[in-house]
Amino acid sequence: MQNFILVPDSFKGTLSAIEVCNIMKSSIKNLYKDANIISVPVADGGEGTVDAFLYALGGEKKSVWVSDAFNEQKILAHYAMLKDDIAVIEMAACAGLPLVKNRLEPDKTTTFGVGELIIDAINSGAKKIILGLGGSATNDGGCGMASALGVKFKDEQDQEFIPTGGTLSQIYKIDMNNIYSKIKDVEFVSMCDVDNPLCGKLGASAVFAPQKGADEDMVKSLDEGLAHLAKIIKRDLYIEVKDIKGAGAAGGLGAGSIAFLQSKLTKGIDVILDTINFDELVSKADIVFTGEGKFDSQSLHGKVVMGVANRSQKYKTPVIVVTGAIGENIQEAYNKGITAIFSINKEPMEFSKSALKSKENMILTMENILRLLKI
């Protein structure tokens, strides 16, 4: 047994996916000196996505000065340039919630910097761009991004402006005639791990805007703005985005990426597995390790562990799940491609205490699993 694939999610509040990969890899090397190990830390499109792709595939981290979330100053943001002319961009790199700190004003923030990152990636040779949607401070439906790319938004007085979440209702016309010409030669894929539509009770504003600082009145106003944007997009661009699953991701950037970039919204795990050619790799692997903070009945409908298991099952490759805690009613997992599930916790303990021991507990668990596999 020499070919291992590691595809863990993060253990929320304790270990990042990259840290889990490092622990697993080190443990395997201790017992299987000549093992071939492919490590693929999972990301969901939010912060850490660029680093996860670079860790898994190698490449170059590019730095560029772009507009901040309020379009007031330039900040240094990063993206990844991988082989095969693939770029990976996190929208959170310039419009993420941590960057605005205590200035929580989703009616005034913009994705303009995201458009600038896209232009830089294209000028660096990108033919395919993976856009991570997650962790946003914005609610502008991607209009800021589109503005940076040359799309013109005009009000009733025919005045051009850059819409933010609070001014979407002023859009009277969308003009795509001057969009950056190289856009048409690039394939876009948006990593999206939420199913929220653009508007309504489950939409971007109602579900996510309160986390960004919106009160009840602002949520209503932001939702009306996105609904108006959807109407104008349908009229001017002949694209229906209002009810698409995932359109509400990243303050409506899911919808914006469809309308302005012709992007495909895809689950993060599927983007990662497709990019590394997982199906080809797993067909030659002896075993796959995956994991997450807690494995329970909800995990059976989750994205990472079951995404890995579903693909591995096609090739009859064993899948071992390493997790912080094992919940109830998980027997069905064994019929869906999972071979075994192991908890790293040695004894009942409060999370605040077990979190401090997560690294040493995972090392011990991995050693025990690997010793068993050697029999």
CATH number, position 179:
3.90.1510.10
Rounded CA-CA distance 90/123 in Å is 17
pLDDT tens for 203-217 read: 999 999 999 999 999
Residue 98's contacts (CB-CB under 8 Å, 6 or more residues apart) are: 47, 92, 135
My answer on whether 34 and 65 are in the same domain is no
Q: Which of 237, 268, 299 is the last residue of a domain?
A: 268
223 and 301 belong to one structural domain: no
Whether residues 207 and 291 share a domain: the answer is no
pLDDT, averaged across the chain: 94
Q: Where in the sequence is the domain holding 87, given as residue range(s)?
A: 49-268
255 shares a domain with 136: yes
Do 18 and 60 lie in one domain? The reply is: no
- 261 with 355, same domain? no
Say if residue 174 is in the same domain as residue 254: yes
Are residues 113 and 29 part of one domain? no
Residues 194 and 289 in one domain: no
Domain boundary among 247, 268, 289: 268
pLDDT (tens digit, 9 = 90+) per residue, 328-339?
888 889 999 999
| pLDDT (0 to 100) of residue 288 | 98
In sequence order, the 6+-apart residues with CB closer than 8 A to the CB of 206 are 200, 219, 223
Give the C-alpha separation, 45 to 130, whole Å: 9
In the chain, how many domains are there?
2
The answer to whether residue 296 scores a pLDDT higher than 90 is no
Q: Are residues 14 and 84 in the same domain?
A: no
Q: How do residues 21-55 score in pLDDT, each as one tens digit? A: 999 999 999 999 999 999 999 887 888 899 999 99
Query: How confident is the model over 76-124, as pLDDT tens digits?
Result: 999 999 999 999 999 999 999 999 999 999 999 999 999 999 999 999 9
Domain final residue, candidates 268, 287, 313: 268
pTM for the full predicted model: 0.90
Contacts of 4 (CB under 8 A, 6+ apart): 28, 32, 35, 36, 37, 38, 285, 286, 287, 288, 289
Q: Are residues 236 and 352 in the same domain?
A: no
The CATH number assigned to the domain holding 17 equals 3.40.50.10350
- Same domain for 120 and 249, yes or no, is yes
